[in-house]
Amino acid sequence: MMTKAEMIEKLREKKGFISDMDGVIYHGNKILPGVLEFVEWLKKEDKKFLFLTNSSERTPKELREKLFRMGIDVDKDIFYTSALATAQFLSVQKPKGTAFIIGEAGLINAMYDVGYTMNNIDPDYVIVGDTRSYSFDKIEQAVNLVIKGAKLIGTNPDITGPAENGIIPATKALIAPIELSTGKSAYFVGKPNPLMMRIALKMLGCSREESVIIGDRMDTDIIAGIESEIDTCLVLSGISSRSTVKEFPYRPTITLEGVNEIVGV
């Protein structure tokens, strides 16, 4: 059996790095220890890397600006969100369709960009993403649209997300009242849906053997990697802890306190 140091060295030899953001890079507006050094190491070693997030609130431009404020300068093209994945999926399923959206700018812009229009009368889809603009009126409207035949889509299956002072409800929690009221189950596009991982590998231009996914959640990041046959690195800087890891019937390839351990800071 390899030692932890040997496993970290093997991880460092990977060509492609797919990293989650919330709980790995930052909590809210607080950057996590060692992240600046980790990103600089990725650049210096000419690694291919992608920030893959289940959060659907922000556009890639907004995510780039957020990291820039934290001292990280990267191109907006290295971000891929569940909002972009949802838009891409629905543009194939029903090109130029219509949707009623409960979500933020990241999701709304992504849907506009693939030719979707907003419709609160008889939409093809009701789409729910991460949002703080959540109200009973919107839930009521969504429930009745789904009952009338609109298909229910969730950008990601996260129940909660990490924040500076604890956790916040995420998409699966927000969409639950609509599912319960209508008896309809939502289809979730984000991790661990294999769609996200296949797109990530294509964007990196790397094979699964050459890549690793770094995440803080056993139920999305780690299972997504395992089911896509990509090595996995769980960091304990977000949702999952050493005690909660034991609740799952699968294990990550390696477990670290944070990305700081990859670069030895």
> CA 247 to CA 116: how far, in whole Å?
41
3-class SS at 26?
strand
Q: Is 75 one of the annotated active-site residues of the chain?
A: no
Q: Is 20 one of the annotated active-site residues of the chain?
A: yes
The string of DSSP codes covering 100-169 is: EEES-HHHHHHHHHTT-EE-SSS-SEEEE-S-S---HHHHHHHHHHHHTTPEEEES---SEEEETTEEEE
Provide the token pair at 199.
Answer: 């797109």
- Strands (E) in 43-116, as ranges, are 48-53, 79-81, 98-102
- Residues 171 and 156: beta-carbon distance below 8 Å: yes
Provide the edge-to-edge strand list for the sheet that holds 48-53: 79-81, 48-53, 16-19, 211-215, 231-235, 254-256
Residue 262 φ then ψ, to 5°? -65, -35
> CA 56 to CA 80: how far, in whole Å?
10
Residues carrying an active site annotation: 20, 22
